[in-house]
Amino acid sequence: MIVLVAHGTRDPEGARVIERLVARVRARGVAVRVAFADVRQPDVTAVLDGLRSLPERAVVVPAFLAAGYHVRSDIPAQVARSSRPRTAVSRPFGPAPVLLGAVRDRLREAGYREGDAVVLAAAGSSDERALAEVNSIADSLAGRLGTPVRVGYAATATPTVADAVATARRAARGGGRVAVASWLLAPGLFQRRLADAGADVVAAPLGDHPAVADLVLGRYAEALPASPPLLPASPPLLPASPPLLPASPPLLPASSALLPASSALLPASSALLPASSALLPASSALLGTSQLANDRPKRDDGSHTAAQDHTTRRSA
């Protein structure tokens, strides 16, 4: 739930601009209620008290372009007087760089041309910090437009918008034009003072520009508490498993260790060679004996021959 807090104005058009801005934000799917810091009702306390029964957190978003008295004092005091718990207060709109595009768009819509002198017109404040924020925005706008930007105030601070316009006109060469960029949110008394400051071009307030609606949602999101994680980080389900078996020793050294044992067989087997080769002379000796037998005269053949001869002689 957003409680959008505007300054408050009696100008009907100013009230309609705030209504259009709220409609843009609601179209993004977020509930919005409007409260006023001054001039109009209901104030912040009344709106928050009316939300007492709602369980959701409320975020108060100050729709102010600088953190002046209303932002630093009035709005926190009105929140404190309410009976509703669970209420956060966001930062105000300014000085948000996202709004520089909206300021430039409003200038162009009003007829600004490149080369025009520019005055940034703000509401004004007695708080030096708020004035410093406006000066910061003017410097950033000068960078966007590529031309110097002076600052003027509709109330409280100096120089006034009229004085800033006069200074810019004197500095313009060849009778150049002066354009006023409005650093205001809605039409009302201050915007009318801008129109009466003597400028050639006066831009409309930021109003319901889409960038303003974006900023409302951005400030709302910033103020919401960070969501805690749904579950704590899960510890590991199991400790790191130790290795099931010790590291196996390399197989090669163990198998290669067999080589000396097997190679040790070689001398034993080779030792058989002399023993077997020792048989060779014995067998060779036999060969020699058989050879001698072959070399002897064959008695059988001779005896056989003599008998045959004897038989032959007898028969003869």
In a domain, 106, yes or no: yes
Answer yes or no: are the C-beta atoms of 61 and 2 closer than 8 Å: yes
Q: Is residue 61 part of a domain?
A: yes
Domain boundary among 89, 121, 140: 89
Per-residue pLDDT, 241:
53
Residue 243 located in a structural domain: no
DSSP 8-state class, residue 249: P
Q: Is residue 255 in a domain?
A: no
Q: Are residues 73 and 101 in the same domain?
A: no
* Sheet with 87-89, edge to edge strand ranges: 32-36, 2-6, 58-62, 87-89
Q: What is the mean pLDDT of the chain?
A: 80
Q: Are residues 77 and 105 in the same domain?
A: no
pLDDT for 126 beyond 80: yes
- Residue 151, token pair as written in the block: 């600052």
Q: How far is the C-alpha of 283 from the C-alpha of 104, rounded, in Å?
A: 126
- The residue ranking higher by pLDDT, 181 or 57, is 181
pLDDT single digits (tens) 129-166:
999 999 999 999 999 999 999 999 999 999 999 999 99
User: Do 132 and 168 reside in the same domain of the chain?
Assistant: yes
Instruction: Give per-residue pLDDT as tens, 11-59.
Output: 999 999 999 999 999 999 999 999 999 989 999 999 999 998 888 889 9
Q: Do residues 194 and 105 both lie within one domain?
A: yes
Contacts of 147 (CB under 8 A, 6+ apart): 114, 115, 116, 117, 118
Residues 47 and 102 in one domain: no
**How far, CA to CA in Å, does 291 sit from each of 28, 211, 296?**
128, 130, 9
Domain hosting residue 172, numbered range: 97-206
pLDDT per position as a tens digit, 59-99: 999 999 999 899 999 999 999 999 887 899 999 998 899 99
Q: Are 121 and 71 in the same domain?
A: no
pLDDT at residue number 63: 97
What does the alpha-carbon distance between residue 80 and residue 57 come to, in Å, rounded to a whole number? 15
The confidence score (pLDDT) of residue 243 equals: 53
Confidence at residue 279, expressed as pLDDT on a 0 to 100 scale? 33
Same domain, 137 and 194: yes
Number of folded domains in the chain? 2
Check whether 196 has a pLDDT greater than 80: yes
Same domain, 72 and 15: yes
What pLDDT, on the 0 to 100 scale, is given for residue 225? Answer: 81
Q: Could you tell me if 34 and 119 lie in one domain?
A: no
- Residue 238 counted as domain residue: no
Please write the tens of the pLDDT for every residue from 242-271. Answer: 555 555 555 444 444 434 444 443 344 343
pLDDT at position 173, please?
74
Secondary structure (3-state) at 168? helix
Question: What pLDDT sits at residue 54?
Answer: 85
Instruction: Specify if 79 maps to a domain.
Output: yes
pLDDT tens per residue, range 264-315: 433 443 433 344 343 334 434 333 433 433 444 444 444 344 334 433 333 3
239 — pLDDT class (breaks 50, 70, 90) = low
List the CATH number of the domain containing 200. 3.40.50.1400
User: Is the pLDDT score of 230 beyond 50?
Assistant: no
> Domain check: are 84 and 113 in the same one?
no
Note whether residue 309 is domain-resident.
Answer: no
Single out the residue in 89, 114, 134 at which a domain terminates: 89
Asked whether the beta carbons of 92 and 216 are under 8 A apart, the reply is no
Residue 218 lies in a domain: no
Spatial distance between the Cα atoms of 152 and 158, rounded to a whole number of angstroms:
7
pLDDT confidence tier of residue 240, bands split at 50, 70 and 90: low
Looking at 182, 206, 230, which one is the last position of a domain? 206
pLDDT over threshold 70, residue 169: yes
- Residues with Cβ within 8 Å of 156's Cβ and at least 6 positions away in sequence, in order, are 123, 124, 125, 126
